[in-house]
Amino acid sequence: MTDDELSQLHAIIEGRVQGVGFRYFVEENAVDLGLTGWVRNCWDGSVEVKAEGKRPALDRLLTAVQRGPRSAFVTNVRTEWLPTTGEYASFRVRPTAD
């Protein structure tokens, strides 16, 4: 894969990641990196992210979510790399998932 190839990152972030501004932290980082997709809380206490863009930018987003905002405590990040769908026009926060 070259740096110009597009990819999709699907990540589930676990730990103290709700109620600490995590979704807005992800949104700010993704927008700054020029990525599209979404972030949302899940009922089990995790945060889910789907982001599309160039692989170097996705790698930087992954590094950011592994750390999280100052008040978060990330214990695990499950990742899956997928082909892009091109369905996202921007990056946004979505409502909590079922």
Domain ranges of the chain: 6-81
Domain 6-81 belongs in CATH node 3.20.20.70: no
Stated pTM of the model: 0.94
Mean pLDDT of 45-65: 98
Q: Mind telling me the catalytic residues?
A: 23, 41
Q: What does the DSSP 8-state code read for residue 25? A: H
> Residue 56 is encoded by which pair of tokens?
């170097």
CA proximity to 48, closest of 7, 74, 77: 77
CB atoms under 10 Å from CB of 30, counted, come to 28
> Quick one: pLDDT band at residue 4, thresholds 50, 70, 90?
confident
